[in-house]
Amino acid sequence: MKRTAAHWAAFALSLVAVLAVAVAVQAFAEIKNHRFDLTEENRLSLSPYTLSVLKEVRDPLRVELYYQRGQRQRSQDLLALMHDNCSNLSYELVDLDRNPGRAKDHKVDHYDRAVLSYQGRETVVPAGDEGTLTGGIVKVLHAKPSVIYFINGHRERQLIVGKDEDYGRASQLLRNESYDVRPLSLLHSQSVPADASAVVLAGPEVDLLDTEIAELETYLVGGGAVLVLIDPVPLPNLSAWLARHGLTLRDDVVIDRANRVYGSDGTNVVVPFYREHEAVRAMDVPVVLGRARSVSLPSGEDDDAASRATIVARTADESFAATGAARTTQGEVLFNKETDRPGPIGVMGVALIGNGPSAGRLAVIGDADFASDGYISLLGNKDLLVNTLGWMALEEFSGARPREENTKLGPVSPVYVTDHHARVIFLSTVVAEPLLFLGVGIAVVVQRRRRR
């Protein structure tokens, strides 16, 4: 009996000790809370862009999110993450089906909508995911949204969804970031509107008139911001205007078979290198360009103090600029040391026009495909677009945006490999694997015949 009692006493003490340790661990975890995200691409963590936005919340921000029954936990997890990184943010989750009157008072008529209140301002924004909710927070932080004008009239990319080459998804992305996106015809206006935070020329196929160039020049010199996304097409007026500000466009196409999108001919260039510049700050993911042209300085260097121009993105050393854009449409292009330029090749340049904080800002990217519906979800493409526009519109937020759950791959694969790796993949999957199965089959047949 004594031995049994001693065993039970030892068991009770052990149980108490285990519970005490568990309570101590839980208490320590509450005091020193730290989250480890082991998922691919950090799906359970906030993006750098969202963190930069939350840092600017100086006053109490209240979030009242209306959810659909059965979807509460998803919204709860997101708002809890935001609260952990911003003590000024408080939130409440409201079941829309059970509180229709309350939703009507705030003019909420859809699921996944949030009522944001900040400094006496109140707005209703989409809140279906991190990206849209963060864009709503940016909107309520700003008393007035930044206006981005897209020039039309020269067969530029359209701001509609439907074709892979258009900018429907880019337009929606910018609206989610709280930008006011509007079309602009320079032919029917006397000048760029005064409320323009930036003007975008997205893939024109027809050259601009002298009067249109003059309007852009006046706006730029007056402290405006112009983003030019230009494919390898001859546009002499536009090219001459950019050259006056130190950014040179050549009749070429950038080729890179060593760092290319798998299955392409080398014209889908992967851009892995960025300079230390505000226009591309926090860019740590490569960008996939379509059929791109080079952007360079007259000196051939990366910086020009006189024109205040800088090359901020370039391709890898294995790339080259193939002179003659028409030549690259006639099959595989090989490097010609007499006419072509070896890499690295600049594909994005920026220039400041004037001095001080009111200086005009000009950015040129030698490709318009990267921001199209077929490409924008690849790697860091959307980050390049919004970070560049953020620099031009003097936004204080930056960083990689939240990754999309469902990615539309478009016309190319997001896998990029070297020529060596491409050959290894081909030989292993197309040659070695079938031969292996053939060898195993022959061995089995031979072995069975021997047994007979």
Residues 6 or more apart from 194 whose CB is under 8 A from it? none
Question: What's the pLDDT tens digit per position in 113-159?
Answer: 889 998 888 888 888 888 888 888 888 887 777 899 999 999 999 98
Residue 412 pLDDT level (bands cut at 50, 70, 90): very low
Within 8 A by CB and 6+ apart from 44, the residues are 35, 37, 77, 81
Mean pLDDT over 326-348 rounds to 83
Is the pLDDT confidence value at 101 over 70?
yes
Please state the rounded mean pLDDT for residues 189-203: 91
pLDDT band at 295 (very low <50, low <70, confident <90, very high): very high
Q: What confidence tens digit (pLDDT) does each residue in 349-361 have?
A: 999 988 877 888 9
- Of 109-123, 393-407, 416-430, which has the strongest mean pLDDT? 109-123
Q: What's residue 404's pLDDT?
A: 55
Note whether 291 and 426 are same-domain residues.
Answer: no
Residue 200: the pLDDT is: 95
Same domain, 322 and 351: yes
| Residue 131 CA: distances (Å) to CA of 158, 178, 386, 425 | 23, 11, 13, 36
Q: Is the dihedral of CA 232, 236, 237, 242 positive or negative?
A: positive
User: Would you say residue 238 has pLDDT above 90?
Assistant: yes
Please give the DSSP secondary-structure letter assigned to residue 450.
Answer: H
What rounded mean pLDDT belongs to the chain? Answer: 82
In-domain check, residue 29 = no
Range scoring the smallest mean pLDDT among 262-271, 423-432, 434-443: 262-271
Angle at 289 between CA 287 and CA 295, to 5 degrees: 100
Predicted local distance difference test score (pLDDT) of residue 410: 43
Domain boundary, last residue among 78, 109, 141: 141
Confidence of residue 366 (pLDDT cuts 50, 70, 90): very high
pLDDT band at residue 218 using 50, 70 and 90 as cut-offs: very high
What would the mean pLDDT of 98-103 be, rounded to a whole number?
Answer: 87
The residue-averaged pLDDT of 261-282 equals 72
Mean pLDDT over residues 244-272, rounded?
77
In a domain? residue 34:
no
User: What are φ and ψ of residue 52, in 5° steps?
Assistant: -65, -35
Average pLDDT for 277-305: 83
Which is it for the CA torsion 181, 186, 187, 189, positive or negative?
positive
The yes-or-no verdict on residue 227 having pLDDT over 90 is yes
- Note whether residue 28 is domain-resident: no
Identify the burial level of 323 via C-beta atoms within 10 angstroms of its C-beta, where 0-12 means exposed, 13-18 middle and 19 or more buried.
middle
- 232 band by pLDDT with thresholds 50, 70 and 90: very high
Give residue 407's pLDDT: 41
Give 358 or 240, the one with higher predicted confidence: 240
Average pLDDT over residues 319-323: 88
Considering the domain architecture, whether residues 255 and 384 belong to the same structural domain is answered as yes
In this structure, is residue 207 part of a structural domain? yes
Give the mean pLDDT of 327-346. Answer: 82
Statement to judge: residues 130 and 152 lie in one domain: no
Inter-axis angle of helices 130-141 and 72-85, to 10 degrees? 50
Q: Are 91 and 128 part of one and the same domain? A: yes
| Residue 229 maps to a domain | yes
Residues 252 and 112 in one domain: no
Domain stop point among 392, 409, 434: 392
Mark whether 117 and 257 lie in a shared domain. no
Specify whether 325 is located in the same domain as 432. Answer: no
Q: What is the number of structural domains in the chain?
A: 3
Which residue has better confidence, 332 or 108? 108
For residues 136 and 206, membership in a common domain is answered with no
Q: Write down the pLDDT at residue 216.
A: 94
CATH number of the domain bearing residue 80: 3.40.30.10
SS3 state at 265: coil
Give me the domain span that covers residue 436: 418-451
Task: Indicate whether 157 and 127 sit together in one domain.
Answer: no
Q: Is residue 226 part of a domain?
A: yes
What type of residue is 16? V
Mean pLDDT, residues 386-392: 87
- pLDDT at residue 256 greater than cutoff 90: no
Residue 303 belongs to a domain with what CATH number? 3.40.50.880
pLDDT given at position 408: 41
**Both 425 and 439 in a single domain?**
yes
Which pLDDT does position 192 carry in this prediction?
Answer: 92
Answer yes or no: is 406 within a domain. Answer: no
pLDDT, tens only, 147-177: 999 999 999 999 888 788 899 999 988 888 8
Same domain, 156 and 296: yes
Q: CA 293, 294, 300 angle in degrees (round to 5)?
A: 165
Burial class (CB in 10 A: 0-12, 13-18, 19+), 247: buried
Q: Which of 117, 141, 165 lies at the terminal end of a domain, its last residue?
A: 141
In a domain, 152, yes or no: yes
- Please give the average per-residue pLDDT across 267-286, as a whole number: 79
- Given a cut of 50, is residue 406 above it in pLDDT? no
What proportion of the chain, given as a percentage, has pLDDT over 70? 85
pLDDT over 90 at 48, yes or no:
no
Q: Could you tell me whether strands 225-229 and 287-291 are parallel, antiparallel, or unpaired per DSSP bridges?
A: unpaired
Judge whether residue 303 has pLDDT over 90: no
